[in-house]
Amino acid sequence: MSDSSLTALPVADRPDVAARLRDALLAASFTADGLLDLLGAPAYAALARSETVPALRATRGDTPLELLVRLFLLQQPVSHARVADVLPVGECLEAGWLVRAGQGELAATVDVRPYGGLDGEDWFIVSDLGCAVGGAGGIGSREEGVVLGVGGASTTLAGITVRTPVGSALDLGTGSGIQALHAGRHATRVTATDVNPRALHITALTLALSGAPAADLRQGSLFEPLREGETFDLIVSNPPFVISPGARLTYRDGGMGGDDLCRTIVQQSGERLNEGGFAQFLANWQHVEGEDWQDRLRSWVPRGCDAWIVQREVQDVTQYAELWLRDAGDHRDDPAEYQARYDAWLDEFEARKVKAVGFGWITLRRTDSAEPVVTVEEWPHPVEQPLGDTVRAHFGRLAYLRENDDAALLDEYFRLAQEVVQEQVGLPGAEDPEHVVLRQHRGMRRATTVDTVGAGFAGVCDGTLSAGRILDAIAQLVGEDPVLLRDRTPAQIRLLVEQGFLEPGN
């Protein structure tokens, strides 16, 4: 399908107009905080679900902010005279941000959505009309080249990305430019690629309207637009990861069979990373009959990379098909056509012996170690975003454990991580608990079961005594041979360090 029926986009090479438009939007408090104050929490949350009725009810007045919400978020025609009091109308018309619509009215050509960055930045995400976010009713467009705005997946990736200063960053499949926008805060040079030329145009608009540095925009699939030998300190991608029969929608369907697109991105990213660099992706993967899903993902990891893969959700094939059929709005079609599409999806899964689909995060770190560590786990529980520092610390702990044998661990001075609590589970009045749980209240918010020695050890770790001396004291208290205790405890210490409950004190 062509893009012929999509609205024409504003010109991207008028940063002067974008700057004046940005100043006008900020002057009217057209920001994430301003929207929340105007709409109230329920209507604001509804707007994030693409439900516009509560916002329409909340913007019946004539203030500049209400006018801008109706114009750019609700796609309502607004009086030319009133808009001229708020925006540089002539320049916006000339540059294509606005068009004339009926008798004395103006309409927006794109959705412009205020977006608060991780540090409270006032940014604006540009997207196609009606496609700012997904929703239970679908995005409202099936145009092949449609470009979406902010969604749960894009904000999740932004939150888990490691945000240390880097020389170069690559946003693979940039879409509306959200990841490139974030990367521009801590990368000297940002490259953004997309197979969809419309997406690159919208990314340029997003960056300009947000007052962010321009990115090096390149059209092409996956790593094809890169030069031979070109490498980066950070690679991020929220790719078209949906496992579907065919490639109907560019923004979500990768066009490869099964989960091959996600596998290809992960496998090819290793050679594009500088030493110590991170590559972070969102992905879907198949749960295939007779195959361990964790082994499947381990096989994706390129040589020379540590990896941390977290499965956040699993859906059976019927749930998965229904989710993405609704995303495309197919549930609003003729029932026979909906059923045919549903059948095609299930036929595809059956042919591949897929019983479920997993969703989660994949993080790689380029390492010069001869023994890379690959961790694949399932953690569907709530976490504390942003997680970038937690991800960086995880790989730091992997390097620490790789470089220190058990003897070195016993000489280490550990500290219990902040906001870790101990829970004891057992029958009321029992002399000893059935088991002891250590629980984090930050980061991944993990919980792990430990024995009484592990609980006692963790509770004493304040950086003043070495691990070996603590174990000797515990051995004396419980009447156990200290040599045997020193032999069997390092494995538990390693687990507590890897999961972030204990931090090396030196």
| Mean pLDDT, rounded, for 407-426 | 94
CA 220/CA 172 separation, integer angstroms: 10
- 3-class state of residue 477 by DSSP: helix
User: What is the helix (H) or strand (E) element at residue 349, kind and residue range?
Assistant: helix 335-351
Under DSSP, the state recorded for 272 is: G
| Mean pLDDT, rounded, for 391-418 | 97
64-67 CB contacts, 8 Å cutoff, 24+ apart: 64/27, 64/28, 65/28, 65/29, 65/30, 65/34, 65/38, 66/38
Residues 6+ apart with CB under 8 A from 302: 266, 267, 268, 269, 270, 271, 364
Q: How many CB atoms lie within 10 A of CB 423?
A: 13
150-157 CB contacts, 8 Å cutoff, 24+ apart: 150/113, 150/115, 150/125, 150/176, 150/178, 153/238, 153/282, 154/178, 154/179, 154/238, 156/282, 156/361, 156/385, 157/236, 157/237, 157/238, 157/280, 157/281, 157/282, 157/361
Tell me: pLDDT of 4 over 60.
no
131: pLDDT confidence band, cut at 50, 70 and 90?
Answer: confident
| pLDDT at residue 3 in the model | 42
| Mean pLDDT, rounded, for 316-329 | 91
Token look-up 């637009």 returns 225
Q: How many CB atoms lie within 10 A of CB 80?
A: 17
User: What is the helix (H) or strand (E) element at residue 111, kind and residue range?
Assistant: strand 111-116
DSSP 368-418: --SS--EEEEE--S---S--HHHHHHHHHHHHHHHH--HHHHHH--EEEPT
Q: How many CB atoms lie within 10 A of CB 75?
A: 16
Closest by CA position to 73, among listed 129, 27, 135: 129
Contact 447, 488 (CB under 8 A): no
Contact 311, 358 (CB under 8 A): yes
Is the pLDDT higher at 5 or at 354? 354
| 125 CB-side CA count, 13 A | 27
142: pLDDT confidence band, cut at 50, 70 and 90?
Answer: low
Strands 305-316 and 216-219 turn out to be unpaired
| 204 CB-side CA count, 13 A | 16
Closest by CA position to 388, among listed 125, 37, 41, 118: 118
Is the pLDDT higher at 198 or at 120? 198
| Mean pLDDT, rounded, for 100-113 | 95
| pLDDT at residue 138 in the model | 46
CA 316/CA 9 separation, integer angstroms: 39
| pLDDT at residue 205 in the model | 98
**438 phi/psi in degrees, rounded to 5:** -100, 135
Tell me: pLDDT of 250 over 80.
no
Tell me: pLDDT of 462 over 80.
yes
**Mean pLDDT in the chain?**
93
CA 200/CA 490 separation, integer angstroms: 51
Closest by CA position to 341, among listed 328, 352, 357, 354: 328
| pLDDT at residue 5 in the model | 57
User: What is the helix (H) or strand (E) element at residue 282, kind and residue range?
Assistant: strand 273-288
CA 440/CA 419 separation, integer angstroms: 6
For the record, the structure tokens of 291 come out as: 């195959």
**315 phi/psi in degrees, rounded to 5:** -125, 140
Report the chain's C-alpha Rg in angstroms.
26
Closest by CA position to 352, among listed 296, 303, 434: 296
Encode burial over 377-397: b for 16+ CB neighbours within 10 A, e otherwise.
eeeeeebeebbbebbbbbbeb
